[in-house]
Chain A
Amino acid sequence: DGGITQSPKYLFRKEGQNVTLSCEQNLNHDAMYWYRQDPGQGLRLIYYSQIVNDFQKGDIAEGYSVSREKKESFPLTVTSAQKNPTAFYLCASRQGVTGNTIYFGEGSWLTVV
């Protein structure tokens, strides 16, 4: 089945450690996104990528990094510089035509312990 796969679903990190969240899509979509969700805050854009080997910062990029080496993959690294990383992270993708639907993965929970 076509879709967006995020892994792992649950991840625990010690303070000071980097962690990478995986996002893979087989929808042949050009654009991919990472959003962060906190209770009562809605979704906030971290990074997005329109094409391979190119990506742009969103509204809350500090403390995060991404890569886009393959069209189907857009991993997110949460670095130790992110001061409050505990959150629900959502990966999404869409075909690059204005007004097209953005589709979401099932999300990954990151908890700092």
Chain B
Amino acid sequence: AQSVTQLGSHVSVSEGALVLLRCNYSSSVPPYLFWYVQYPNQGLQLLLKYTSAATLVKGINGFEAEFKKSETSFHLTKPSAHMSDAAEYFCAVSRGQGGSEKLVFGKGTKLTVNP
């Protein structure tokens, strides 16, 4: 069954430093993978998604993620953190096909950005 593991429930970086949020997936078929961001008391917003077109995926707000099949990973990175990046980030893998497709989420990583 498809699942995701996010390593580190809390990550703290300094403003301007590299952001690295880790996600490993488990899937018996080529997966679709997603990263979402959630600001306090709000819904989830899509940052980027992998659908097998390219292994390096660029998203919004300067984030990108690289799909590595050999490592079953889809880590999220940003070269330089900004205060506005402070939020909770969720990695997700799709399960099912077509209309029955669903997302299975990791438990989330809360990012703190220190001035």
Contact = CB atoms under 8 A, between A and B. Distances in A.
Interface residues of B, number: 26
A40 B105 CA distance: 12
A94 B108 CA distance: 22
A90 B45 CA distance: 12
Contacts of B36: 104
Interface string A43-54: 111001011000
A101 interface: yes
Interface in B75-115: 90, 94, 97-108
B32 A40 contact: no
A98 B32 contact: yes
Interface in A33-61: 33, 35, 40-45, 48, 50-51, 56, 58
B46 A42 contact: no
Given A98-B94, A99-B32, A99-B94, A30 B99 contact: yes
Interface in B41-78: 41-46, 49, 51
A43 to B, nearest CB: 4
A106 B43 CA distance: 4
A21 to B, nearest CB: 13
Contact of B106 (A6, A42, A51, A104): A42
A88 B44 CA distance: 12
B100 A101 contact: no
A113 interface: no
A90 B101 contact: no
A43 B36 CA distance: 11
Contacts of A92: 44
Interface of A: 4, 6, 30-31, 33, 35, 40-45, 48, 50-51, 56, 58, 90, 92, 94, 96-107, 109
Chain A to chain B: the 10 pairs with minimum beta-carbon distance, closest first: A96-B99, A104-B43, A50-B99, A42-B107, A42-B105, A43-B105, A104-B44, A99-B51, A99-B32, A106-B43
